[in-house]
Amino acid sequence: MKPNKPIPSPIPYLLQVPDLRAHNTTYDWRMLFMLVLMALGSGRTNILAIAQW
């Protein structure tokens, strides 16, 4: 039986993806957290449903 090869890290590939957001744009994490909590409170239980909400 052959030894398992380690899985390469995806980080070098992800760093090559261009960032299409506006530069110097920041978002308040408290606002995002509040929106996620509101979506969860309204019965959305997975990430796709939260994003659609």
pLDDT in tens, 6-44: 888 988 988 898 877 777 777 788 888 888 999 999 999
Give the residue, 33 or 2, on which the prediction is more confident.
33
C-alpha distances in Å from residue 6, one per residue of 3, 11, 14, 15: 9, 15, 18, 20
Kindly tell me if the per-residue pLDDT of 3 is higher than 90: no
Number of independent structural domains in the chain: 1
Kindly tell me if the per-residue pLDDT of 5 is higher than 90: no
pLDDT of residue 1: 63
How distant is the alpha carbon of residue 5 from its chain centre? Answer: 28
Range of the domain at 52: 26-53
HSE-CB of 20 using CA atoms within 13 angstroms: 1
The answer to whether residue 21 is domain-embedded is no
